Structure 1
Amino acid sequence: MKEISVVQDGNYVFKEEIHYTVLKTSLFFSGDGFTVYDCHGQLVFRVDSYGPDSRNLVELVLMDPDGRCLLTVRRKVSV
């Protein structure tokens, strides 16, 4: 079994409630995702989905504003 590690970045830990705006990036194409902005209009996160088509999304990737992967969620594939 793979070892799981947790990375806690101080940039994403807050002492008070933070409000974000989430916008869908595309309503018409596969591989679409979401963008997340803070109350100052700064990009905080990107969420992109990847797969062969919009009905068969294999993974969902949460990224920081620079496009670095923070978290990947993959669909369990039965063999």
Structure 2
Amino acid sequence: MKEGIVVQDGNYVFKEEIHYTVLKTSLFFSGDGFTVYDCHGQVVFRVDSYGPDSRGVDELVLMNPEGRCLLTVRRKVHHRCRLF
């Protein structure tokens, strides 16, 4: 397994409240999820789901605007989740 990193830099830590717009992406294709925009219309985060179908999501991936994985949540037995 690859060794992970800790995300704790100025890009993700704010001293005041920030408002975002969350837009649901396609409901009909694999890899659907959400895109999070700031008040300037710039993509801040993406959340994509991966699995055999949209109901049985096996994995959620939180990504930065460039598509690099920041956090992966994988479903385990008995609906428990594992974070990577």
What's the TM-score bracket when you normalise by the shorter of the two chains? 0.7 to 0.9
Residue 13 in structure 1 maps to residue 13 in structure 2: yes
Q: Which runs of 4+ in 1 moved over 6 A?
A: none
Distance 2:4 2:38 in 1: 29
Percent of counterpart pairs with the same letter? Answer: 88
Query: Which residue of structure 2 aligns with residue 52 of structure 1?
Result: 52
CA RMSD of aligned residues (A): 1.9
Distance 2:42 2:20 in 1: 10
Q: How many positions carry a matched residue from both structures?
A: 76
Alpha-carbon contact 2:27-2:54 (below 8 Å) kept = no
TM-score by length of 1: 0.85
Cα distance, 1:4 vs structure 2: 7.8
CA separation of 1:51/1:7 partners in 2, compared to 1, >3 Å: closer, same or farther?
A: same
Distance 1:7 1:19 in 2: 20
Gaps of at least 5 residues in structure 1 are: none
Secondary structure in structure 1 of the residue aligned to 2:77: coil
